[in-house]
Amino acid sequence: MESHQDIKASEKVKCLIIGSGPAGYTAAIYAARANLNPVLYQGIQPGGQLTITTDVENYPGYPDGVQGPQMMVDFEKQAARMGADIRFGLATKVDFSAHPHKVWIDDEKLIESDAVIIATGASAKWLGLKSEERLNGFGVSACAVCDGFFFRGKEVAIVGAGDTAAEEALYLSKLCPTVHMLVRRSEMRASKVMQERVLNTPNIKIYWNTEAEEILGENKTEAVRIRNRKTGEIQTIAISGFFVAIGHEPNSAIFKEWLDRDEAGYLKTIPGSTKTNVPGVFAAGDVQDKIYRQAVSAAGTGCMAALDAERWLNEKGLH
């Protein structure tokens, strides 16, 4: 049986948090401790990108490492214990034209909130191969900095031609005997300095005009079948890790009418804060961070957003 709260058409809250990765849950922990009675909607992927990450070994406080999904369960439990109201639901539309801010959940329920913290994250772009999806977490990854360590001493491949791909290839080159870099065109998009570094690294082998056709292996990544787009030549390379570095897509589309975004769609925040161009709306985590994109930096900005929101509510006499 539905509770009265679920069937209400609208509801007024003091602090609404949209998204449930490290940024959203950390914001919820801080906001709850500040008595802002935060309501958090988990979005389409509760726990965010970490739920498709297996081992997390670089987050402080977990000396033996932790599974990504378990870590997000821990974050959620802590936020709930502090008093955050955590709910299933996806923000589908917003109206930031007047105060209080309006956010629609699942196209039906309207939440009016004094402060809104956006922590909707970003989604990795994938090639769209069936095998890529099947072996995701079993040798296939979209984050070399997160997962490269597990392939120390092993052969790996990376797809991409931008600065991120170049940076990740260089990172992997310090861990792996050979990094097979697959570039779709006859040139890279990366900045000149990054290209030079890649070209001057002897154990990065570049395959120009090349795309991945299939990742091979039953329960783990064992090889990649590649095709030269000019000659049609097919080749199979034995690898243990396959990294996709073709970019991330910030989950910011529903805010574009109201909030300033950069050319890639990341929400812009006022330097040194999490404030957006709309007073009372704050952004944290990967939806506004295209540089670091780590769980620990996302959690840090979640903390900042809650503190910024608390100060703003106090200044406005709303808390």
- Of 94, 116, 98, 53, nearest to 293 by C-alpha is 53
Q: One of 114, 146, 176, 308 is an active-site residue; which one? A: 146
Query: What three-state secondary structure class fits 141?
Result: strand
Q: Are 27 and 117 in contact (CB under 8 A)?
A: yes
Residue 110 in contact with residue 125, Cβ under 8 Å? no
DSSP bridge partners of 250: 122
Catalytic residue check, 15: no
Phi, psi of 214 (to 5 degrees): -160, 140
Question: Considering only CA atoms, which of 114, 125, 124, 17 is closest in space to residue 75?
Answer: 17
- Residue 146 is among the residues annotated as catalytic for this protein: yes
Tokens coding 266: 């990341």
Determine whether 143 is an active site residue. yes
Indicate the SS3 state at residue 66. Answer: strand
Structure tokens at 311: 């100060």
Please, are residues 86 and 79 in contact by the beta-carbon 8 Å criterion? yes
Nearest to 60 by CA among 317, 297, 250, 266: 297
Which tokens in the block code for residue 267? 């929400």
- C-alpha Rg value of the chain to the nearest Å: 21
Instruction: Give the total residue count for the chain.
Output: 319
User: Which residues pair with residue 85 across a beta bridge?
Assistant: 39
Place of tokens 């977990």: 62
DSSP conformation class of 172: H
CA nearest neighbour of 229 among 214, 209, 244: 209
Annotated catalytic residue: which of 64, 107, 114, 147? Answer: 147
- Which residues carry out catalysis? 143, 146-147
